[in-house]
A and B are shown apart, each in its own frame.
Chain A
Amino acid sequence: MKRAAIVVVMASLLAATGRPAFAHQLDEYLQATTLDVQPDHVRVKLRLTPGVAVVETVLAQIDRDHDGVLSEDEKRAYVEHVRSDLELSIDDRKSPLNYVSATYPSVDAMREGNGEIVMMFDANVSSPPGLERQLTFANRHRRDVSSYLVNAILAGNPPVRVLDQTRSEDQSTYHSTYARPDWLVLPIGMSSAVEWLIAIALVVGGILTMSKRRHPKENARACVVVPR
């Protein structure tokens, strides 16, 4: 009942004053996407937050039988609808987005402007170390009321190197060139000077050891003590 009151307060304020009460852009459907490049896939995570001024149009799209309840079928159908409006390409080749998971808030939370739908998809893309790849992502879902954010997430050890990024003005399209570091970067994450020093010492030590083994007679002669 308190939640219904909150909704009434906010809707009334919006209607009476033309000024939304608080929270995000209340007259927009915020769609924030993160792109996480992993060795064998790209994880696309989409957070959808409808503002209170547009939530009813979003709910109407999900709640197809308009019974006020989001059934599992309706939720799945909406995920498919959103997925059909997304496009991921690697090196100009479209990569299908495979469903991973989706979570929905309560309808009340959405009506309060506090409801975030989270969807995750994976594109099976191999990203071999050292190879530069071009990633393009486009989101065309509800362009009539949406505000978009899209960012590459740096993760992993070592992390993916994003070499450049461009976005359309409204961030509905994103393009980047990325590469996973090649074999010269050791998997333990050689960020500290001490680790680099140890690695150099090991390499040089190995070279010296191999050098001694290659010239055993010379070394032995050097060690011989000639008795008088």
Chain B
Amino acid sequence: MKANRMSARFARGLVVVSALTFACGAKDAIVDPAENVHASSQTADVVSKANAFLASLDTTQRTRITYAFDDAEERKRWSNFPPAVAKRGGIQMSELTDAQRTAAFALLESVLSPKGMEKVRNIMAADDAFKAQDHGGPPQGGPPHFKGPLFGHELYSIAILGTPSERNAWMLQFGGHHLALNITIAGDRGVLTPTLTGAQPASFEVNGKTVRPLGAESDKAFVLLDALDETQRAQAILKYRVSDLVLGPGHDGESVPPEGLKVSRMNAKQRALLLDVISEWAGIENEGYASARMNEIEAGFDDTWFAWSGATTHEPGKNGSAYYRIQGPRIFIEYAPQGLGGDLTMHVHTMFRDPTNDYGSGLAGK
């Protein structure tokens, strides 16, 4: 009888604990139904634009641009290097007609937010600016047989892995020099990782206006750094130099121990500032996809870390020269200035990963 009473009490306790546990675990997975509907209609629009783009291509172009969803080689065929140095799959903008290019950018615009699309265009414009600085062809007296440019917006390429679908997973790749968008779309979710953005020059003029493709990534990070107190800064600022991306191209599936200042030691204002920095990457996607992504990031926010290496000041209106990293359960961001004759402020590479969901592996099961 005593054993039976114990078993009954145990069973009741187990039910209570189970309910609490599932409630705690489930809260991370809950997505506002309104967001779900928005994202679903967004995917419908993306699929429609993808099919319209594919329909604009001839048979040969369509064959070149499409790959199997699980094509492991094409998935990782991205880089920070120019296409002449690191070949991309798919088809370059230079090989498309005006109508086809319009359709390609309409597809991109459906996947990206207006701010994300502006960032992409500015990165490509930076490549044009770099080319215009006599960096696009052979120097005076160079080999006459050299053909083709190294830089410029025409060299960015687009590829599709899988079949555009509102239900089954597929991937859109767009990139070139300093840009690699790898976007997996599965149902109402769009996964932007891994994605690389970069810029060189990091600041240039267009029609008298200064353009800094990744200026906000730098400026917002300094606002956050300046908002930390001395104790927090001492924790955030690494005592060694980080000279390049740690988990850049070729480092899929790797993770490193977190370092720096833990978000759990930040106040509400500082946490908001850090989320603002993160939004420069997560917000590249359209609002429906980005919203779900930010929810994921915020769910593990207390276990997220912010680390800094290098100079703690910068000239207003210019990028800084310091490296920083944001690392959490669902996020890995790096901002890594690159040497350019000593001016680290004019050349930068950044990396955006999700250690649990690069290439949508967590959604698509692949």
Verify if B256 is at the interface (C-beta below 8 Å from A).
yes
Verify if B148 is at the interface (C-beta below 8 Å from A).
yes
Across the interface, which residues of A come within 8 angstroms of B287, CB to CB? none
Across the interface, which residues of A come within 8 angstroms of B177, CB to CB? 22
Are B255 and A19 in contact (CB-based, < 8 A)? no
Asked, given contacts A28-B339, A222-B4, whether A6 binds B239 with beta carbons under 8 Å apart, the answer is: no
Cβ distance B259 to chain A, nearest Cβ, rounded Å? 7
Are A25 and B25 in contact (CB-based, < 8 A)? no
Cβ distance B177 to chain A, nearest Cβ, rounded Å? 7
Are A114 and B25 in contact (CB-based, < 8 A)? no
In the complex the two chains form, what is the Cα distance from A204 to B150 in whole Å?
A: 67
Verify if B1 is at the interface (C-beta below 8 Å from A).
yes
Across the interface, which residues of A come within 8 angstroms of B259, CB to CB? 165
Across the interface, which residues of B come within 8 angstroms of A190, CB to CB? none
Give the total of B residues in contact with A, Cβ under 8 Å.
52
Asked, given contacts A16-B139, A151-B246, A167-B240, whether A2 binds B84 with beta carbons under 8 Å apart, the answer is: yes
Verify if B132 is at the interface (C-beta below 8 Å from A).
no
Are B24 and A5 in contact (CB-based, < 8 A)? no
Verify if B209 is at the interface (C-beta below 8 Å from A).
no
Give the total of A residues in contact with B, Cβ under 8 Å.
61
Verify if B17 is at the interface (C-beta below 8 Å from A).
yes
Residue of B nearest to A166 (CB): B239
Residue of B nearest to A8 (CB): B142
Query: Which of A47, A116, A149, A169 counts the most B-chain CB atoms under 10 A from its CB?
Result: A149
Are B139 and A12 in contact (CB-based, < 8 A)? yes
Across the interface, which residues of A come within 8 angstroms of B10, CB to CB? 204, 208
Across the interface, which residues of B come within 8 angstroms of A166, CB to CB? 239
Residue of A nearest to B80 (CB): A23
In the complex the two chains form, what is the Cα distance from A137 to B226 in whole Å?
A: 34
In the complex the two chains form, what is the Cα distance from A32 to B246 in whole Å?
A: 8
* CB contact between A194 and one of B21, B80, B244 (< 8 Å): that residue: B21
Are A197 and B17 in contact (CB-based, < 8 A)? yes
Across the interface, which residues of A come within 8 angstroms of B85, CB to CB? 6, 23, 112-114
A-contact bits for B4-19, CB 8 A (1 contact / 0 none): 1011001000100110
Cβ distance A144 to chain B, nearest Cβ, rounded Å? 16
* CB contact between A2 and one of B139, B147, B239, B255 (< 8 Å): that residue: B147
Cβ distance A203 to chain B, nearest Cβ, rounded Å? 12
B-contact bits for A190-203, CB 8 A (1 contact / 0 none): 00111011000100
Are A25 and B3 in contact (CB-based, < 8 A)? no
Across the interface, which residues of A come within 8 angstroms of B145, CB to CB? 1, 5
Verify if B33 is at the interface (C-beta below 8 Å from A).
no
Question: Interface-forming stretch among A94-102, A125-133, A180-188, A212-220?
Answer: A212-220
Verify if A147 is at the interface (C-beta below 8 Å from B).
yes
Are B240 and A13 in contact (CB-based, < 8 A)? no
Q: Which of A149-174 contact B (CB under 8 A)?
A: 149, 151-155, 162, 165-171
In the complex the two chains form, what is the Cα distance from A82 to B138 in whole Å?
A: 36
Across the interface, which residues of B come within 8 angstroms of A55, CB to CB? none
Across the interface, which residues of B come within 8 angstroms of A147, CB to CB? 243-244
In the complex the two chains form, what is the Cα distance from A34 to B257 in whole Å?
A: 12
Verify if B62 is at the interface (C-beta below 8 Å from A).
no
In the complex the two chains form, what is the Cα distance from A25 to B343 in whole Å?
A: 11
Asked, given contacts A2-B147, A9-B150, A197-B18, whether A154 binds B243 with beta carbons under 8 Å apart, the answer is: no
The 6 tightest CB contacts between A and B, nearest first, are A25-B339, A5-B146, A19-B341, A162-B257, A12-B139, A222-B1
With A9-B137, A12-B142 given, name 4 new contacts (CB 8 A): A2-B148, A21-B150, A25-B243, A171-B242
Chain B interface (Cβ < 8 Å from any Cβ of A): 1-4, 6-7, 10, 14, 17-18, 21-22, 24-25, 80-82, 84-86, 130, 135, 137-139, 142-143, 145-148, 150, 177, 200, 239-244, 246, 250, 254-257, 259, 338-341, 347
17 A-B residue pairs with CB within 8 Å: A4-B143, A5-B138, A8-B138, A8-B143, A17-B341, A19-B340, A23-B85, A24-B338, A25-B338, A28-B243, A28-B339, A114-B86, A149-B242, A154-B257, A168-B240, A169-B239, A222-B4
